[in-house]
């Protein structure tokens, strides 16, 4: 079944205020592509000539060092948008993007978005808000890397995940992928999780973590004030 591209675009924060006729034109200019799990969507330095909407699956945005180290900047799920920076400055990609699952991605031409932002003030405001939100998130992440040790970064990452009524968090990530999110190694993330488990704060089973003592975990991560 072919997705309704116009409807997908209308549900994004970036384009929800755009008139229907403009959305239809954007849909006609866009390309829907399927990517395998683990496939590279783009790499740093590639032309930033599209804004990408995740229709299904998940994509990680990551930066890599010359010696092979990796830091995951964001994980984008269905309905999420990435690549907006290229609309603002027409520059190349500043990071890599790789699929975590089999994905359907909608590639929207940068020039088409730029033209709409020039005519529709609310779309330009949404673009500014999206870039500002990314900057705030990266600023917070940089502060965590500098000021928090790795176990506290793992605790903060766990607390940021949605959970069920029983406190269960289905991470859907390997420990290596978790390590890339918090700027550590698989072994150090495993050690942090086991330490929390020994204290009785969490239970770990496969890729599911159940938070048993959220207050203690928040206090350890230093987020108890923001949680109130």
CATH number at residue 106: 2.60.120.10
Three-class DSSP category at 224: coil
Q: What angle do CA 159, 160, 161 make, to 5 degrees?
A: 95
Task: Quote the Cα angle for 139-144-146, to 5°.
Answer: 95
Residue 1, pLDDT score: 54
Number of domains in the chain: 2
- Asked if residue 100 and residue 71 are part of one domain, the reply reads yes
Residue 226 has pLDDT above 90, yes or no: no
Structure tokens belonging to residue 138: 């990266």
Residue 152 pLDDT more than 50?
yes
> Helix 121-147 and helix 110-119: axis angle, to 10°?
120
Q: Does the pLDDT at position 225 exceed 60?
A: no
Q: What SS3 state is found at 109?
A: strand
Q: Which uninterrupted H or E stretch holds 81?
A: strand 81-82
Q: Is residue 203 situated within a structural domain?
A: yes
pTM assigned to the model? 0.86
Q: Residues 57, 168: one domain?
A: no
Angle at 96 between CA 90 and CA 26, to 5 degrees: 45
What percent of the chain stands above pLDDT 70? 96
Range of the domain at 156: 148-221
């Amino acid at each position: 079944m072919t997705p309704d591209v116009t409807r997908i675009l209308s549900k994004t924060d970036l384009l929800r205020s755009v008139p229907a006729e403009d959305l239809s034109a954007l849909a006609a200019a866009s390309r829907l592509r399927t990517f395998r799990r683990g496939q590279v969507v783009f790499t740093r330095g590639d032309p930033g000539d599209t804004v990408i909407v995740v229709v299904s699956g998940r994509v990680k945005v990551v930066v890599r060092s010359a010696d092979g180290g990796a830091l995951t900047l964001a994980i984008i799920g269905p309905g999420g948008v990435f690549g907006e920076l290229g609309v603002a400055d027409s520059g190349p990609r500043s990071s890599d993007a790789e699929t975590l699952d089999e994905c359907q991605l909608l590639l929207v031409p940068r020039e088409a978005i730029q033209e709409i932002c020039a005519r529709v003030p609310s779309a330009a405001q949404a673009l500014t808000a999206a870039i500002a939100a990314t900057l705030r998130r990266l600023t917070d992440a940089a502060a965590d890397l500098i000021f928090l040790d790795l176990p506290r970064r793992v605790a903060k990452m766990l607390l940021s995940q949605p959970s069920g009524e029983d406190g269960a968090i289905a991470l859907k990530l390997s420990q290596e992928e978790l390590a890339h999110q918090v700027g550590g190694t698989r072994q150090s993330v495993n050690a942090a999780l086991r330490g929390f488990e020994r204290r009785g704060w969490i239970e770990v089973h496969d890729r599911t973590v159940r938070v048993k003592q959220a207050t203690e975990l928040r206090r350890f991560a230093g987020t108890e004030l923001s949680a109130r």
